[in-house]
Amino acid sequence: MTARTTAADAQAPRVRRSDAPVAAAPGLIRIGTRGSALAVAQCTTVARAVSAATGLEAVLVIVTTQGDVSRASLAQLGGTGVFVSALRDALLAGECDLAVHSLKDLPTGPCPGIEIGAIPPRADARDALCARDGLTLEALPAGARVGTGSPRRAAQLRARRSDLEVVDLRGNVDTRLARVGADLDAVVLACAGLDRLGRQTAITERFPLAEAPAAPGQGALAVEVRADDLAREPYAGALAALDDAESHASALAERAVLATLEAGCAAPVGATARVESGRLALRAEVTSLDGAQRIVTEDALPWDAADPGHRRIPERLGRLVAQSLFDQGAAMIAPRAGTAPGAEHPGGSRPGGPR
Ligand SMILES: NCc1[nH]cc(CCC(=O)O)c1CC(=O)O
């Protein structure tokens, strides 16, 4: 190919990866990520968009976390929180300028000094069944062994197929897929992760969100920035280019359900929001761990990205839906330890009986 300078070349993204710390330098923007194949794939997409929008070279700074090096189980280390806090520490320490997370892994509470600056266009939010021999959930034989490490997926599987044997599952995507056809008949994973890794062929069924509402924020990425940099260039421009208003609103509405419920309900929560005909619509489900009880609520509020007030809508909608779940007895099917039913949520409305 002949080397020729064109306007397009000037904006062609320049992205590289570094496994060692990288000093701040003019012309560079450093983006922190975990080192897993999925995290790197996600961050590479973000880095290309950042470089194209700013003209800067984007460097993926791989942040090794305790969770990546330890042989202890995630539960022993305190859940996925260990991955998140190592990346946030790197951001606060100035070792990177932006950090990319899977939104569903971020705790719902605020983090002092850090803001979510952008939520890029979302991938497929659905859960995927990856079964042997191309089987769907319906076609799995009675008593089939299905692996998942998620209490929500386990509860939803039990609700839909009480005969299945749900098996606890850990490890990265490839480790999990390797068990299909070995000691398991199927595993459930996020479509988003499989799609981003180019492993679509492993998917034998994408569960409809109406039957299996996914984890709040599933399929969405969060790009975090130091609060001080939020309105400063080149970060503000990069974040504006990355953000997708509908993905942002939907994911925040789903997370607001989770944040509101967390106070009084330990049951698994699925939530799915979308923008449709000028409204932000949100559907959420709480499932008892044994899958025997399901509480579902749906609501919507007018939403228009051009309206300056639109940023407050997701939170309002999420709270409304969570309140309605409480009203129907969400806290009764799996109360938080130490909380009195009915006393744990704003408004103090009556908890209904279990359904
Ligand atoms: N908790 C692990 C995790 N965090 C994000 C994803 C997938 C990508 C996404 O949901 O955005 C996964 C794997 C999975 O649930 O299968």
Residue 292: is its pLDDT beyond 80? yes
Asked if residue 201 and residue 315 are part of one domain, the reply reads no
Q: What is the pLDDT of residues 234-255, one digit of tens each?
A: 999 999 999 999 999 999 999 9
Q: For residue 241, give the H/E element and its range.
A: helix 235-242
Residue 347: is its pLDDT beyond 50? no
Indicate whether residue 169 lines ligand 1 (CB < 6 A): no
Residue nearest to atom 9 of ligand 1 (CA): 219
pLDDT at res. 105? 94
Token reading at 14? 């320049």
Residue 79 confidence class, pLDDT cut points 50, 70, 90? low
Residue 82 confidence class, pLDDT cut points 50, 70, 90? confident
Of 206, 228, 262, which closes a domain? 206
Asked if residue 20 and residue 49 are part of one domain, the reply reads yes
Indicate whether residue 192 lines ligand 1 (CB < 6 A): yes
338 located within any domain: no
Residue 351: is its pLDDT beyond 90? no
- Would you say the C-alpha torsion 294, 300, 305, 310 has a positive or negative sign? negative
346 located within any domain: no
Asked if residue 239 and residue 92 are part of one domain, the reply reads yes
pLDDT at res. 66? 59
Angle at 39 between CA 167 and CA 75, to 5 degrees: 40
Asked if residue 183 and residue 237 are part of one domain, the reply reads no
49 located within any domain: yes
Residue 319: is its pLDDT beyond 90? yes
Asked if residue 299 and residue 192 are part of one domain, the reply reads no
Question: Which whole number is the average pLDDT over 327-350?
Answer: 65
pLDDT at res. 28? 98
192: CA distance to ligand 1 center in Å? 7
pLDDT at res. 345? 42
Residue 334: is its pLDDT beyond 80? yes
**Nearest atom (ligand 1) to Cα of 125:** 10
312: CA distance to ligand 1 center in Å? 27
What total of structural domains would you count in the chain?
A: 3
Asked if residue 258 and residue 132 are part of one domain, the reply reads no
Question: Which whole number is the average pLDDT over 155-180?
Answer: 96
Residue 83 confidence class, pLDDT cut points 50, 70, 90? confident
Asked if residue 57 and residue 139 are part of one domain, the reply reads no
Of 206, 232, 260, which closes a domain? 206
pLDDT at res. 153? 97
351 located within any domain: no
**Nearest atom (ligand 1) to Cα of 176:** 16
Asked if residue 167 and residue 49 are part of one domain, the reply reads no
18 located within any domain: yes
pLDDT at res. 2? 46
Asked if residue 238 and residue 319 are part of one domain, the reply reads no
3: CA distance to ligand 1 center in Å? 41
Asked if residue 326 and residue 194 are part of one domain, the reply reads no
Average pLDDT, the chain: 90
- CATH number of the domain that 283 lies in? 3.30.160.40
Residue 269 confidence class, pLDDT cut points 50, 70, 90? very high
CA atoms of 147 and 192, how far apart (whole Å): 18
Strand stretches in the chain, DSSP E: 14-18, 28-33, 57-62, 98-102, 114-118, 127-131, 145-147, 165-167, 186-190, 205-206, 221-226, 269-276, 279-287, 294-302
Cβ burial, residue 289 (10 Å; 0-12/13-18/19+): middle
232: CA distance to ligand 1 center in Å? 31
**Tally of CB atoms within 10 A around 115:** 17
CA atoms of 271 and 269, how far apart (whole Å): 7
What is the extent of the structural domain holding 299? 248-333
pLDDT at res. 10? 54
Active site residues: 105
Q: What is the pLDDT of residues 93-121, one digit of tens each?
A: 999 999 999 999 999 999 999 999 999 99
215 located within any domain: no
Q: Are 159 and 287 in contact (CB under 8 A)?
A: yes
Asked if residue 171 and residue 229 are part of one domain, the reply reads no
348 located within any domain: no
* Amino acid identity at 255: R
Residue 209: is its pLDDT beyond 50? yes
User: Which has more confidence, 77 or 154?
Assistant: 154
Asked if residue 115 and residue 11 are part of one domain, the reply reads yes
- CATH number of the domain that 149 lies in? 3.40.190.10
46 located within any domain: yes
Lowest-pLDDT choice from 33-47, 88-102, 324-338:
324-338
